[in-house]
Amino acid sequence: MNHQGVLGNEFSILRSPGSVVFRDGNWPIPGERIPDVAALSMGFSVKEDLSWPGLAVGNLFHRPRATVMVMVKGVDKLALPPGRVISYPLENAVPFSLDSVANSIHSLFSEETPVVLQLAPSEERVYMVGKANSVFEDLSVTLRQLRNRLFQENSVLNSLPLNSLSRNSEVDLLFLSELQVLHDISSLLSRHKHLAKDHSPDLYSLELAGLDEIGKHYGEDSEQFRDASKILVDALQKFADDMYSLYGGNAVVELVTVRSFDTSLVRKTRTILEAKQAKSPSSPYNLAYKYNLEYPVVFNMVLWIMIALALAVIITSYNIWNMDPGYDSIIYRMTNQKIRMD
């Protein structure tokens, strides 16, 4: 179900496995904490506790095999199908990246086969780690490659209903090339399904700015913008379903829609934090440190292991104490022989 925040920007969950529980509610999520939501849903720890009720604990021993984050610029919300998608208001729409999550995967699973792909087609930015280099070596990443890919026989140009969009417009082609990237990612990954079934988690982070360019070029009230928005929703739903299916229903697919980023909020946040630190560098009170989010999990594991060991010792001791070896056992035979000898 969709909920609209004060600023209108949204954070949506397109698909998620049963082991990751997102609660349906109108809880705003700060933009700078989006990477922490991604990290926690994958089972990684974060530096600062996240007190956001939208993400429940879920199954601690069954984490998703992949997280897919798609960020769409130029629109505060899309007409996603109600009921199937959970959306939350996004406040403080500051620029963010999943670099911290990618670093966690790279450091923890460097000897295995993680797939990490971060891509912004319109800016020609691409970052690949692990098996992503071999899986997506044929992926179009530059604007020239994207344009050439669009005019191949099996491109989305031949399957999408363009309506008011034109294949002769550079702005329209940029938007359509991003949809081609979505299609090609799932298509190329389907050739390496074994990587979706290994033990190392995968990460996909995609930034789409094509809709923003169409809005600037034609206006947000234009027929082209409405058609592009509808085409994008359908493409995102198909991409989410394809990725979810490739990972056997064990992937989280998330969507962030932002009309525009407010870079002033980044500076404001930093100055506030710096002021707080300068004001009270050390507390005069002997306060206990804040417990890590993982403390109750570790405590429960240690507690129940200790209880199980204690019960095992008690049961074993009781059985040994009450054990009757029988009159014919070696103990009594040795005793009788010794008595006869004496």
Domain boundaries, position 121: 10-277
**253 plus 319 within the same structural domain:** no
Pair (257, 325) in one structural domain: no
Cβ pair 261, 39 in contact under 8 A: no
Q: How many folded domains does the chain comprise?
A: 2
* Rounded average pLDDT over 284-306: 71
pLDDT at 185: 96
Give the pLDDT confidence score for residue 129 in this predicted structure: 80
- Single out the residue in 277, 306, 330 at which a domain terminates: 277
| pLDDT of 342 | 57
Reduce the DSSP state of residue 113 to 3 states and report it.
Answer: coil
pLDDT in tens, 258-271: 998 866 554 443 43
Same domain, 20 and 123: yes
What is the per-residue pLDDT for 229?
Answer: 96
Report if residue 169 sits inside a domain. Answer: yes
Claim to verify: residue 149 and residue 117 sit in the same structural domain: yes
234 and 337 belong to one structural domain:
no
Most confident of 41-45, 136-140, 304-308: 304-308
Picking from 250, 277, 304, the residue at the C-terminal end of a domain is 277
* Mean pLDDT, residues 38-53: 90
The secondary structure of 32-91 as a DSSP string is GGHHHHHHHHTT---SS----TTB----TT---SEEEEEEEES-S---PPTTT-EEEEEE
> What phi, psi does 221 have (nearest 5°)?
-95, 5
**Together in a domain, 224 and 332:** no
Mean of per-residue pLDDT scores for the chain: 85
Q: Which residue has the higher pLDDT, 276 or 95?
A: 95
- Residue 289 within a domain: no
Residues 122, 162, single domain; the answer is yes
DSSP assigned state of 322: T
Residues forming a β-bridge with 127:
118
Residues 98 and 229 reside in one and the same domain: yes
| pLDDT score of 107 | 85
Query: Do 309 and 272 share a structural domain?
Result: no
Number of alpha helices (DSSP H) and beta strands (DSSP E) in the chain: 10, 8
